[in-house]
Amino acid sequence: ISRTDYIHSRNFIHRDIKPDNFLMGLGKKGNLVYIIDFGLAKKYRDGRTHKHIPYRENKNLTGTARYASINTHLGIEQSRRDDLESLGYVLMYFNRGSLPWQGLKAATKRQKYERISEKKMSTPVEELCKGYPVEFASYLRYCRDLRFEERPDYSHLRQLFRTLFHGQGFTYDYVFDWNMLKFGNARQPTLPSAQQAPMHSQPSNVALPSGTNNDQEHRSRPYTRQCLPNASVATVGPTLGPNASLRAIRQKREMETRGDQDNQDKSDLQASGAGGQERRVSMRLHRRDTLLAAAGEMQPKSK
């Protein structure tokens, strides 16, 4: 949501939001999300006056049909709302592993687009998001209700999922499922309530999305392309690579282990009472005598 917000703040819409165009950084930037492929991006307002492009109809589908908004299927000029609706379908694709309008057969590309559009419009949001936290349905309904020129409330949308994130018991530790799969399960993630679907789950429960390539749902590209430079520079949160996260976890565990040992030592000392104090005095005297003997200053004891 933050990445899309940033692109829109630069007066562009992406128009091809899909899983293939989101990447995670490498190394120290392993916690950063990047958006790529601005071949279909379009300037939707004047950078100085913020005058919005006009509403138009009878437009050809631009983007990837699987994730395109309903208004895009209807031939309506795209605006900010369409990028966000597409992002909602991406989120549900990650949740479900597939979308109801995948795998539809048709003789021509146009017929396939029509079948996808019909299935998308006939699938209620509640059915699409059934079995998942209500925030996903709330997100999609909000995006579909936006007017053509309306500025989305990005903060509200982020807060939806931030509240869900904390409600599920997760923390911003920047240790993702793919980090644990690559580097080993350095920590056990906090499991969410069994009544709700997890925002990310144990590796054994990960639903692998099907059809990550473009299949037959090719995207339509215009003859002229506009590119948006430096669209991935906005960041949220501190930069913590996967290795740094794992080191922090190990250090925390070592500190906890030392703390447990210190607590055990204190318990033993308290349990020993006065006897423990006598042993400590005896040990100090023994160490003193040993040092004196080594220095040749120990006098022989009289019988």
Q: Where are the strands (E) in the chain, listed by range? A: 12-13, 22-24, 33-35, 42-43
How is residue 2 written in tokens?
């933050």
User: In the chain, count of helices (H) and strands (E)?
Assistant: 10, 4
Q: At CA 242, angle to CA 241 and CA 248, rounded to 5?
A: 90
DSSP-assigned states of every residue in 164-200 = HHHHTT-------HHHHHHH--SSPPPP--TTS--SS
Residue 284, token pair as written in the block = 């100090």
Catalytic status, residue 83? no
Tokens of 194: 């069994």
DSSP 224: S
What string of DSSP letters covers 31-81? T-EEE---TT-EE-B-TTT-PBPPP--SPPP-B-GGG--HHHHTTPPP-HH
Catalytic-role residue among 16, 145, 153, 262: 16
Which distant-in-sequence residues (6+ apart) come within 8 Å of 9 by Cβ? none
Say if CB 37 and CB 116 are below 8 A apart: no
| Residue 220 DSSP symbol | B
Q: Which residues contact 235 (CB under 8 A, 6 or more apart)?
A: 32
Residues annotated as part of the active site = 16
